[in-house]
Each structure stands twice: as structure tokens, then as C-alpha cells.
Amino acid sequence: MSGVRVRVAAKINLSLRVGARRPDGFHDLSTVFQAISLFDDIQVRASPIGSGRTISVAGERVDGVPRDDRNLAARAAIALAEAVGQPDPDVHIDIDKAIPVAGGMAGGSADAAATLMACRALWDTEIADEELHRVAADLGSDVPFALQGGTAQGTGRGDILVPVLATGEWHWVVALNDGELSTPQVFAECDRLRSCGLSEPAPGDDSALMAALRAGSARDLAPCLVNDLQPAALSLRPSLAAVLAAGTDVGALAGLVSGSGPTCIFLAADREHAIGLAAELAGSGLVRGVRHAFGPVRGAHLIP
């Protein structure tokens, strides 16, 4: 049987406000996500009965990505099969990655969302959107947003989503950095810094950020970008401070760590500004690579 292909975008957090650690180990969040034009492409096809899940992964620095059921994409296929009452699924999943691995851009969650969508089409199964959302949220806090895309506010673990109006196109420069940061470790470091009085939640709320998004003003948005995980990411990876400084030195409107890092993102005024910033940052010698990306883009979707 031929396969089903799905494209899925990276996410950035324009605002990431981290509340208290809950009894289940997760933190209450208030975040504003935007899906941006860095994509993973997933192809899922049926494999012979009894072969289980097999995975191939292409892209930069993908050696550490598991090729077995530890991969969130494989777990997504299993979870969807369970939810729709199908037997243990036999599928091959091809993952072509442009979203940095363990980079704070929800690449694993994106692959899980794409696999849910691909398997739903491959198996021609009926599943209500709310049920698919529940399966997605069980897989990971960022998986529902990877399905939905656009710009959205997330609360709860980040999985309760409400669309946000963002007028026009927003241009970002994404600075890829060497190595990975573990999301649980960054959250744990955030708790540690707070318990020592070395960090505290960002004050205020996101009303000015929402107004800037509605107005389509990058200059108004710049001072509103906030990431409560940034002090923790910088504590674990002090060299990121130089990357953030380099971005603002060459004229980015603002820069911040993306999610739990170590990827950093910089806001540009428009496309030309972003292309110029990307060239300057690439020449700084401080980053592994740069990408120009725009948002918002759509959530996981079938491609021919």
C-alpha cells in the first residue's frame, strides 16, 4: 500500500510563563505559540503483519533520534490504534527532519502530530477532533499545538489551546546551536533557580503582546517576548548569552531562547531585515547554523 505524507511545522513560544510544579510533575503554563516555516516531513506506510514499528530518520544531527518505539512518532501510531480499537499497528515511518533535534522547537512533538494525522488517513479511520486532541495531549504537551498550528494561547500543560489573532507575517531568524538541552532538566533548573531566589516568573501578563499581534507590529511585539525558561537554559548553557547578544548587536528587534533551548530566535522587522540578520549571525562564528523562517503557518497537513 502506498504511504501517506504529512508536513508539520516547528513551534516557537512568543511568551512562555511557567507557574508552579504540579503534583503530576508538570508545570502550569501560560504560553503563546506560533508555528513557523521550519518543517519536518513524515511518510507513513503499512508494513507486513508482525513487523511492528520501523523508523528511518534523515536530516542534520539525527543520530540520537530513536528508531524504535521510544520515538514519539511510533508511540503516536500505537496510541491512535488503541484509541480507534485497531490491533498493534505495523507501520514504517520515514521522518525527514528540518526541525532541530532537542532544540526547544517541539520537533519530536511535531513528528508525533504528523504521525497521528498520517495514520488517521492511512487507516481511513473516523476519530472526532476532540478525541484526536486527547490522544495528542497524552503523547506530549506540545503535540496538540503541532496539530493545530497558527498562533495560539496554551494553558494547562500547554495543551489547552485557544487561537490568537496575529495579523500579517512575522519574520524570525532561528539560530541553531550545538548540542541539545533536555526539557525536563531545564524545567528542573527553573525550579532550582526559583527555590534559591535566583530567578522569578516574569511580571505582568500577555495583553500587550496580544495587542501587538493583532496590530501586526513587530516593533510593539519585541519588548513583549518573554521566556521564563530562559534563565534556566542560560544557567545550563552559559554560552547562549553571547548568541543572544550577537543577535541584538546586529539589529534584531529582540532575541530569546526558544522554549527550553538551546535554539535561539530573533525577531525581524520584515523579510529583508531577517535575511540580513541571518547573514550577519551566520558570520558571527557563534552559531552552528541559521534559518530564516516566517509565521504563522498551518498545523500538520497532508501533502501529495
Residues acting as catalytic residues: 11, 142
Whether the upstream peptide bond of residue 262 has omega within 30° of 0, thus cis, is yes
Among 41, 142, 189, 228, binds ligand C5P (CB under 6 A): 142
Give the burial class of 20: count Cβ atoms within 10 A of its Cβ; 0-12 exposed, 13-18 middle, 19 or more buried. exposed
Q: By CB under 6 A, which span of 24-32, 62-70, 164-172, 219-227 interacts with ligand C5P?
A: 24-32
Q: Is 187 in the site for ligand C5P (CB under 6 A)?
A: yes
Dist CA 137 CA 297 (whole Å): 21
DSSP 300: S
How many residues sit in the footprint of ligand C5P (CB under 6 A)?
Answer: 12
Q: By CB under 6 A, which span of 19-27, 89-97, 116-124, 204-212 interacts with ligand C5P?
A: 19-27
- Residue with grid cell 530566535, as numbered in its chain: 265
166 touches 56 (CB < 8 A): no
225 touches 254 (CB < 8 A): yes
Among 5, 7, 11, 27, binds ligand C5P (CB under 6 A): 27
Dist CA 273 CA 252 (whole Å): 8
Q: By CB under 6 A, which span of 9-17, 42-50, 136-144, 288-296 interacts with ligand C5P?
A: 136-144
Among 183, 199, 227, 263, binds ligand C5P (CB under 6 A): 183
Helix (H) or strand (E) holding 176: strand 170-176
Q: Which is nearer to ligand C5P, 13 or 183 (CB)?
A: 183
Cell (9 digits) for 91: 507501520
Q: Which is nearer to ligand C5P, 100 or 158 (CB)?
A: 158
Dist CA 72 CA 50 (whole Å): 20
Q: Is 141 in the site for ligand C5P (CB under 6 A)?
A: yes
Q: Is 41 in the site for ligand C5P (CB under 6 A)?
A: no
Among 158, 262, 295, 296, binds ligand C5P (CB under 6 A): 158
Site string for ligand C5P, 43-72 (x = CB under 6 A): ------------------------------
